[in-house]
């Protein structure tokens, strides 16, 4: 190492100062955009974070487009369980993110970022389009989605996001299993019973297949197929009680509680 420090601080910075505002604007326009994937189970607040992210960027004067697919509040809406919702572009298999953003920019519109909720339902090709939007249009893409389906297999959209994202962030708000442990699995129930076979995408509702619902479970209870309902049923199954008034309680029904 030379003990002599190299010459630095070109004089031009002193005699020709750059205005901080224009420098910031320049950096803002030329910085690299990012593809970020926020993943978690159901009930961990993904849509709430998506709405908050949209709000934070919009509050700084950035223009964004919100996309979602099969939202609980219906088409063309991004909603959170906490009650907030905003209009959104519905993503279906025909959606082309690249052309959508190019159309906006070519028609004189602005687009600095995309909010992409329910990204697990996007196709791998659509995630490739999102990566291209980031790299070639310098538009930030913030994608939010569930990692695995009710069979514990990766959704194609989530798999592609894990493969391509600049960053994958696992949400820190943890969903909880009925037992209180951290829930890592998304279980599907049909008529109350947990199933591990069927179509990958089936929106929770009453259909010809029966009443379809979803429940987050810890891995242990997923493997044992023990949902909150089946755990309660097992708990209330007839077993001999070491109390003299057991028969009286049983007659009064399972809701009877002695004080
Ligand atoms: Zn559990």
CATH number at residue 161: 3.40.50.300
Domain annotation covers residue 75: yes
Q: In the structure, what pLDDT confidence band is assigned to residue 237 with cuts at 50, 70 and 90?
A: low
Token pair of 232, please?
Answer: 């309660």
Q: What is the per-residue pLDDT across 142-198, written as a single tens digit (0 to 9) for each?
A: 999 999 999 999 999 999 999 999 999 988 777 899 999 989 899 999 988 999 998
Indicate whether 128 belongs to any domain. yes
Tokens of 73: 């509040």
* Dist. CA 65 → ligand 1 center (Å): 38
Same domain, 43 and 170: yes
Domain boundary among 147, 174, 201: 174
Distance from Cα 193 to the centre of ligand 1, integer Å: 16
As to burial, measured by CB atoms within 10 angstroms (0-12 exposed, 13-18 middle, 19+ buried), residue 83 is: exposed
Give yes or no: residues 135 and 222 share one domain. Answer: no
pLDDT band at 217, cuts 50/70/90? very high
In terms of domains, do 82 and 197 share one?
A: no
Cα of 242 from ligand 1 centre, angstroms? 28
Do 58 and 70 fall into the same domain? yes
Rounded to the nearest angstrom, the distance between the alpha carbon of 192 and the centre of ligand 1 is: 17
Helices 97-106 & 124-137 angle (0-180, nearest 10): 30
Q: Which residue range is the domain that position 233 belongs to?
A: 176-238
- Residues 36, 145, single domain; the answer is yes
Residues 133 and 225 in one domain: no
Q: How many helices (H) and strands (E) does the chain have?
A: 9, 12
Identify the band that residue 55 occupies on the pLDDT scale cut at 50, 70 and 90.
Answer: very high
Is there a domain that residue 20 lies in? Answer: no
Residue 138: C-alpha distances to residues 5, 20, 106, 113, 141 (Å): 38, 22, 15, 9, 9
100 CA distance to ligand 1 centroid (A)? 42
Q: Give residue 196's pLDDT.
A: 92
Q: Is residue 2 part of a domain?
A: no
Q: How many domains does the chain divide into?
A: 2
Let me know if 108 is exposed, middle or buried by CB neighbors in 10 A (0-12, 13-18, 19+).
exposed
Do 59 and 136 belong together in one domain? Answer: yes
Given the residues 90, 106, 118, 174, the one annotated as active site = 118
Q: Is position 106 annotated as part of the catalytic site? A: no
Q: Which residue has the tokens 């309680």?
A: 249
Average pLDDT of the chain, as a whole number: 82
In this structure, which residues have their CB less than 5 angstroms from ion ligand 1?
A: 177, 179, 181, 218, 221
pLDDT at 231: 87
Shared-domain flag, residues 138 and 227:
no
How many angstroms does the Cα of residue 249 sit away from the middle of ligand 1?
A: 29
Can you give the pLDDT at residue 27? 42
| Ligand 1 centre distance from Cα of residue 250 (Å) | 28
Question: Is the pTM higher than 0.85?
Answer: no
Domain final position from 155, 174, 193 = 174
Domain with 190 in it: what CATH number?
A: 3.30.60
Tens digits of residue pLDDT in 11-53: 444 444 444 444 344 345 647 899 999 998 887 888 999 999 9
Same domain for 165 and 37: yes
Are 131 and 231 members of one domain?
Answer: no
Do 49 and 80 touch, CB atoms closer than 8 A? Answer: no
Question: Residue 210: inside a domain, yes or no?
Answer: yes
Which of residues 174, 202, 219 is at a domain's end? 174
Please give the full DSSP string across 91-123, using - where no structure is assigned.
Answer: P-TT--HHHHHHHHHHTT---SEEEE-SGGGS-
Residue at 12 is within a domain: no
Residue 247 domain-assigned (yes or no): no
């Amino acid at each position: 190492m030379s003990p002599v420090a190299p010459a630095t601080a070109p004089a031009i910075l002193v005699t020709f100062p750059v205005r901080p505002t224009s420098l910031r604007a320049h950096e803002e326009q030329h910085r690299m955009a990012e593809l970020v994937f926020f993943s978690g189970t159901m009930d961990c607040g993904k849509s709430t974070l998506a709405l908050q992210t949209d709000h934070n960027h919009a509050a700084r004067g950035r223009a964004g487009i919100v996309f979602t697919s099969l939202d609980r509040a219906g088409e063309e809406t991004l909603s959170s369980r906490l009650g907030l919702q905003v209009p959104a572009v519905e993503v279906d298999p025909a959606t082309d993110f690249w052309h959508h953003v190019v159309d906006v920019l070519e028609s004189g519109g602005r687009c600095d970022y995309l909010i992409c909720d329910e990204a697990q339902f996007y196709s791998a090709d659509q995630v490739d389009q999102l990566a291209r939007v980031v790299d070639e249009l310098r538009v930030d893409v913030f994608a939010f989605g569930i990692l695995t389906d009710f069979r514990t297999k990766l959704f194609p959209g989530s798999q592609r996001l894990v493969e391509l994202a600049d960053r994958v962030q696992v949400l820190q708000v943890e969903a909880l299993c009925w037992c209180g442990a951290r829930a890592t699995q998304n279980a599907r129930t049909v008529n109350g019973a947990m199933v591990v076979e069927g179509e990958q995408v089936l929106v929770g509702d009453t259909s010809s297949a029966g009443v379809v619902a979803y429940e987050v479970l810890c891995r242990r209870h997923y493997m044992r197929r023990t949902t909150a309902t089946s755990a309660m049923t097992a708990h209330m199954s007839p077993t001999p009680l070491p109390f003299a008034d057991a028969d009286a309680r049983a007659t009064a029904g399972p809701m009877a509680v002695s004080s």
